[in-house]
Structure 1
Amino acid sequence: MQAAMDISAKYCQKELEAYGSCVASNPSKWQQKCHELKAKVANCTSSHPVIQKIRKDCSHEFVKFEQCLAENQDAPTSCSAHISRFLGCAETVDLSGVSKNPSS
């Protein structure tokens, strides 16, 4: 998972920072206000093989996390158990054979 986070930060830092700032600035309406920025992060990260593998292997946990966020827009921190399950899953993903550099 650390590799995926490093890759996300390396290739999508601008998008991640803008989205994070938007969410922090709009605690009760971040779903609506930050939708476009969320899409930009998703577009940026979806092209990397490591992140694609984690999303595929942990899609169930990620969907549950996003559902929790949608149901708790005024209290996103109440979804910490969901994100923990997703991160736990991501730690177990077998990344052997996955190119960590998409240009190679």
Structure 2
Amino acid sequence: REAALEVAARYCRDEMEQYGRCVASSPTTWQQDCDQLKLNISRCASSHPIVQKIRHDCAEPFTAFEQCLKQNQASVMNCTEHINQFLICADQVKLTT
């Protein structure tokens, strides 16, 4: 991934991994079970300008991805295109200094 995603992964890796493990282990209840872990990612991300900029600039594709997950809880692989769109967006975000 490009620099923006590398920064996000570097600074919020633990939070992202915990959330990913939670979602994977709770295929039918992850929305409730993993909510606190999702908040932890948000807290982490809010303190890093590049991650904050990605969240702002790519809010639409990320929201579409989350909506897809809600609609496809039993088959999250249906959301591959949504996550790809978000990643393409995130790769293009640059932090202007």
Q: TM-score, normalised by structure 1?
A: 0.80
1:90 matched residue in structure 2: 90
Structure 1 spans left out of the alignment, 5+ residues: 98-104
- Residue 90 of structure 2 aligns to which amino acid in structure 1? A
Contact 1:61 1:85 survives alignment (8 Å): yes
Deviations 1:49-71 (A, max 9, x none): 00111111111111111111111
RMSD of aligned C-alpha atoms?
1.6
2:19 matched residue in structure 1: 19
Aligned length: 97
Q: TM-score, normalised by structure 2?
A: 0.85
Contact 1:31 1:73 survives alignment (8 Å): no
In percent, how many aligned pairs have the same letter? 49
- 1:65-76 correspondence runs (5 A): 65-76=65-76
Structure 2 spans left out of the alignment, 5+ residues: none
The Cα of 1:96 is off from its aligned counterpart by: 3.4
The Cα of 1:86 is off from its aligned counterpart by: 0.8
2:34 counterpart of 1:34 = yes
Assess, with a 3 A threshold, how the Cα gap between structure 1 residues 16 and 94 changes in structure 2: closer, same or farther. Answer: closer
Alpha-carbon distance in structure 1 between the residues aligned to 2:73 and 2:66: 10
* Partner SS state of residue 22, structure 1: helix
